[in-house]
Each structure stands twice: as C-alpha cells, then as structure tokens.
A and B are shown apart, each in its own frame.
Chain A
C-alpha cells in the first residue's frame, strides 16, 4: 500500500505565479483534505473534497482552489502567489465520508509538498 502520495516534493515559484499540487489518496479512501503548514506552526485546514465536491473550507482566500477527480485523487491550485504562501502543503486522506459526525477514520497524511515563493 503506497499510502498517500503527493507531488512534487519541492517547488520554487515566483510571486504572482500559479501552482498546482497533486495528491493521490490511500487505497480505499474517498475523502481528501488539504492543509497548509507554515514553518514552526501546526497544519491549517484549507478545504476537504468528497464525491468531487468541496465539502468544507477553512479560512483561506479564493486564490486557493481545488478539485477532486473520479478516482479520488485531488489537486490544490493557488493563484497569484504571495511570499506568505511559502509553506509545507499536506494532503490527508480518509474514508467513511458519508457518515456525518463520524471520525471519518484516521486521517493519513502524505509527506507534503514544500512550496517556496520568491
């Protein structure tokens, strides 16, 4: 089992550019969540996708958008990059999404994509 895989592992972009990050969930998982982790901070929830729709969103601007594909993989897009967007972007997958209120089982995280905006 490959677990949660993310690509690329590292990325350097210039202010104002756009970036796309990718995530493949753990086998059997249908729900993907994205988190941003700034240096020395805990992960901050960006949004969650289930059944190809954004189910919940954290306190992030519209420059952050996403997509989930029929095979449950997901993309995170960030437009008009700012220096403050430099962070580790984490993808977490889980299952049991139909049961509202359920723990949604354990969230398994990928190794993240380290984005540096210069």
Chain B
C-alpha cells in the first residue's frame, strides 16, 4: 500500500470555479502534510503545509486535514488559468523523507 494515494484526475474547470483536490494516507505517526504545485517542466513548489487537523487558509488556497479519516484536501477558490498545473500532496514523518501522491493535473479554462 502506498503511503499517500491521490485522486488521479485530470480535472478541467472553468475560470472562477472551486477546485477540490483530495488525498488519503496511511501510517498515523505524527507528521506534516504538504501541497506542492508543479508546472510543466519545472520542479515542485511548496504551496502550504500543516500538521494539525482542521483548515489552514492562505489567500485563495485552503488546506484541510482530517486525521480521523486520514484524508487531506486542497481547495482553490476563484481559480485562474495560471492555476493550471499538477498538484502533489505529500506527507513527512519524524524522519526526513517526503512521501508524495502521484499528482492531479488541473486545467482552468479561460
């Protein structure tokens, strides 16, 4: 079983829509959860990270963690064509490696 499973997509939404991205994870040891954005032919860029259950907001982005169900989500409000990218969820335990999901490719149509 993979440590992080991510809804595969791809997703295509009209500009202004809410984008919802989801992942589940295994292994309940204390850990951090992250969302990265990766544009084509680029390295991943950290969007947000959190370690507690609940919501964390940063501008148009909201990261949600539900540790009871081992579910992590990212919501993008008022989506823009510039949000078109692959979004990667990841988790990090007390050791050092990041465990990534496979990524969801999002296209926001103008």
Contact = CB atoms under 8 A, between A and B. Distances in A.
Interface of A: 4, 31, 33, 35, 40-45, 48, 55-56, 58, 90, 92, 100-101, 103-104, 106-112, 114
B45 A109 contact: yes
B32 A109 contact: no
Given A42-B6, A42-B88, A107-B46, A100 B101 contact: no
Interface string B41-67: 111111001010000000000000000
Contacts of A103: 32, 49, 51, 92
A56 B103 CA distance: 24
Interface residues of B, number: 26
B103 to A, nearest CB: 5
Contacts of B100: 42-44
A114 to B, nearest CB: 8
Closest 5 CB pairs of A and B: A42-B100, A109-B43, A45-B97, A101-B94, A106-B46
A100 B96 CA distance: 8
Interface string B16-51: 000000000000001010001000011111100101
